[in-house]
Structure 1
Amino acid sequence: MLKHVSFLTRDLGAVLAFYTRLGGVVEKDLTTAEGYRRGVIRLGEGRLQFFEVPGESPTPHGHWAEHVALHVVGLRGLLPGLRAAGVTVTRDLQPSPGGRDMAFVLDPDGRQVELLEA
């Protein structure tokens, strides 16, 4: 069972807001003993953990194969709101191989996020 996946971020506040908009719940937003800002988002049973580390820059690869995949409810209604908020859509709404609605967007750090209708 997956506990969490951890990433670096340039702007923890923007990342927490982005994943909250996708149905996540902020479990932690704190400063570690080392002085790093740490945030944890719960998405269903799993978690995404982000560290804002001064001087470190996340370098996500732009290829769609490297991505976070999330089940969301109401993707057709969610996607226009993401666009209006300035989120970049890299693959527009289309059927997934299994026939569900699917789209790819970029999170605030440029990380690919697959959105798949739950």
Structure 2
Amino acid sequence: MTLKHVSFLTRDLRATLAFYEGLGGVTEKDMLTHEGHRRGVIRLGDGKLQFFQIEAEGPQTHPHWAEHIAIHVGGLRELLPRLKAAGVTVTRDLQPSPGGRDMAFVLDPDGRQVELLESGL
């Protein structure tokens, strides 16, 4: 298992990316997702931070998965049924990720979203 990224919400994606670039980070993505969300990814050494822009004004609605921890795991198709049997809450069942790998979202004991992404190793 390895950490893929940690994902946060931001009100100003460009300012957030510029801040982390000023700390030595490198912007890998600054894009609009196919669901219509502004998304940025900054590489900091071996790790990544991912940000989704939310509205500065108005109701603070965002996808339930926007803030999450992403972890590469091996054998996700076998792991997910074991997690379900152990009572772990699955918030997004097994499906292909945008990159084509198996992925699922579960909740940790404190209710944080955890993206499980097949490592392919």
TM-score by length of 2: 0.47
User: Is the radius of gyration larger for structure 1 or structure 2?
Assistant: 2
TM-score by length of 1: 0.48
